[in-house]
Amino acid sequence: MVRIIGILIGLFFSGWLLVSFGMGAKEYITNPPVETAEHAFHKEAKDVSFTSDGPLGKFDRQQLQRGFQVYKEVCAACHSLRLVAFRNLEEIGYNEDEVKAIAANWPIQTPDVDPATGEMSTRASVAADKLPKPFANDVAAGAANNNAIPPDLSLITKAREGGAPYIYSLLTGYQAPPADLPKANQPGPGLHYNPYFANLNLAMAPPLAAADMVSYSDGTKASIDQMAKDVSAFLIWSAEPKLEERHQAGWAVLAFLLIATILAYLSYRTIWADVKAEKKKKSAEA
């Protein structure tokens, strides 16, 4: 009985799937899907490497500080970094006093309640504060940016397929639209053509428009490419500050497990030695 019902249900599901397949295939052949311009003109992220790549990767603190400088002087005007606290900057090589100074002099103040009046107010930031947001909320951010809300950058390299190379490609990928780009995909007013962006047109104007927009204190030449790379490296850190710890711990655990597993395997072999020997003996007899 179970089998008869089963076969009937099976025939129904499989049959209808085959019919659906047939109808879909007919549609596919008679009316093949056309490749969209978003697909045709879209480019995969450039091949760029960072010192933090791979299982042995470590941050280049000098580069992270340069990247932080780019964030601070270029990106921070529109993009928040709300999950990073000033105190975290000690992890990229600033000392306590430098962090205090960075926090106190940050162009945007931390919102707080005025201790005397109880009114909403702002105060200078301290090391324990998270980096203050440039806009109070999404509505304010949208209103100031032509309704395109600048995303928070704290996790951006983990929150985008392609990670840091994608961010780097986006920053360096602005170009004039190709001549054969369909009219519908031409950048409208306030949009900028960038083939690394999923729908090709981006509301963000090229942020790193010219070389030497920042002047690095360590003497590195601030080319557009260098700034894009540095800020991408900084954003790898902001998204995954524990990356170095993770790599180190991983190797230690791996080394331990390798030895433990080899020992466990040898133990397994000795325990089974008798059974295996008996099996061999009997096989030989047979």
Partner 1 sequence: MSFPWAKQYTPTTEFGQWMDKQLPLPRFVYNSVGAGYPAPRNLNYMWNFGSMAGLFLVVQIVTGIILAMHYAANATIAFDSVEHIMRDVNSGWMIRYAHANGASFFFIAIYLHIGRGLFYGSYKAPREMLWLLGVVIYLLAMATAFMGYVLPWGQMSFWGAKVITGLFEAIPFIGKPIQELLLGGFAPDNAALNRFFSLHYLLPFVIVGVVIMHIWALHIPGSNNPTGVDVKGPQDTVPFHPYYTAKDGWTIGLALIFFTILMFFLPNALGHADNYIPANPLSTPAHIVPEWYFWPWYAILRAFTFDFLFIPAKLLGVLAMFSAILVWFFLPWLDKSPVRSGSFRPKFKIFFVILVIDVLILGYCGGAPAEEPFVMISQLAAAYYFAHFLIILPLLSRLEKPEPLPTSITESVTGKPLTTAS
Partner 2 sequence: MATVETAETAVAEDGGVRRRDFINIAAVSFAGAGAVATVFPLVNQMNPSADVLALASIEVDISAIETGQSIKTSWRKQPIFIRNLTAEEIAEANAVNVSELRDPQTLAERTTAGKENWLITLGVCTHLGCVPLGAAQGEIKGEFGGYFCPCHGSHYDTAARIRKGPAPTNLEVPLHEFLSDTVVKIG
Sites of contact with partner 1 (CB under 8 A): 2-3, 6-7, 9-11, 13-21, 23-25, 28, 33, 55, 83, 88, 151, 154-155, 158-161, 198, 239, 241-242, 245-247, 249-251, 253-254, 257-258, 260-261, 264-265, 267-268, 271-272, 275, 278-279, 282-283, 285-286
Q: Which is nearer to partner 2, 146 or 267 (CB)?
A: 267
Q: Token pair for residue 156?
A: 């951006």
Q: Which is nearer to partner 1, 167 or 224 (CB)?
A: 167
Q: Which residues between 124 and 183 bind partner 2 (CB under 8 A)?
A: 127-128
Q: Provide the Cα torsion 190, 195, 198, 199; round to 10°.
A: 50
Does 113 participate in binding partner 2 (rule CB under 8 A)?
no
Q: Provide the Cα torsion 175, 181, 186, 192; round to 10°.
A: -20
The stretch among 4-12, 163-171, 174-182, 262-270 that binds partner 2 (CB under 8 A) is 262-270
Does 267 participate in binding partner 2 (rule CB under 8 A)?
yes
HEC per residue, 164-200: HHHHHHHHHCCCCCCCCCCHHHCCCCCCEECCCCCCC
88, 239 in Cβ contact below 8 A? Answer: no
Q: Which is nearer to partner 1, 210 or 265 (CB)?
A: 265
Q: Which does 285 bind (CB under 5 to 8 A by kind): partner 2, partner 1, none?
A: partner 1
Q: Which does 154 bind (CB under 5 to 8 A by kind): partner 1, partner 2, none?
A: partner 1
Does 114 participate in binding partner 2 (rule CB under 8 A)?
no
218, 66 in Cβ contact below 8 A? Answer: yes
180/153 Cα distance (integer angstroms): 33
Give the x-and-dash track for 28-67 against partner 2 (CB under 8 A).
Answer: ----------------------------------------
The stretch among 175-183, 206-214, 228-236, 266-274 that binds partner 2 (CB under 8 A) is 266-274
Does 274 participate in binding partner 2 (rule CB under 8 A)?
yes
Q: Which is nearer to partner 1, 206 or 241 (CB)?
A: 241
Terminal CA-CA length for the chain: 47
Q: Which does 127 bind (CB under 5 to 8 A by kind): partner 1, partner 2, none?
A: partner 2
79, 151 in Cβ contact below 8 A? Answer: yes
Q: Give the helix, strand, coil percentages of the chain, each rounded to 5.
A: 50, 5, 45
152/71 Cα distance (integer angstroms): 12
Residue 142: Cβ within 10 Å count: 14
Q: Which is nearer to partner 1, 149 or 213 (CB)?
A: 149
CA 104 from centre of chain? 29
284/286 Cα distance (integer angstroms): 5
Does 117 participate in binding partner 2 (rule CB under 8 A)?
no
Closest CA to 81 of 133, 145, 125: 133
Q: Which residues between 231 and 260 bind partner 2 (CB under 8 A)?
A: 256-257, 259-260
Give contact residues for partner 2 (rule: CB under 8 A): 85, 87, 127-128, 256-257, 259-260, 263-264, 266-267, 270-271, 273-275, 278
